[in-house]
Amino acid sequence: MTIRVRRAYDPSAAGDGCRVLVDRLWPRGLARDEAQIDHWLRELAPSNELRRWFAHDAERWDAFCQRYAEELQSPSTSVALAELRQLISTQPTVTLLYGARDAEHNNAQALRLWLQAHDSAR
């Protein structure tokens, strides 16, 4: 199992495998028919409140990851998490897609870290 993270605006690559958008909003200006996105799991995105608070401020990254982890454990994400875990278990590669400009501090990176930490503990 490989979990990759890429910006949704980047062209798809041969090694992307199953491409999963994990943003609440569709990336602005990205045509749906050209996006080559296999699944859109918007329920896995941070809440609007958390997203606004974070504002991709690198100094808030650790606190964002912690707050986002709490949101990921809420009942509202359970179905989407189960779907994502199913994809991860059946696909050789899953690429989490995000729309933000910051490649290091975004919800897809935080989700990948959370999945790796929680799924390795199982």
What sections of the chain are H helices per DSSP?
48-54, 61-72, 78-90, 107-120
Give the C-alpha separation, 35 to 43, whole Å: 19
**Tens-digit pLDDT profile for residues 27-56:** 999 998 888 999 999 999 999 999 999 998
Residue 111: its pLDDT value, please?
97
Q: Is the predicted pLDDT of residue 120 greater than 60, yes or no?
A: no
Three-state SS at 82:
helix
Q: What is the pTM of this model?
A: 0.93
**Tens-digit pLDDT profile for residues 60-114:** 999 999 999 999 999 999 999 999 999 999 999 999 999 999 999 999 999 999 9
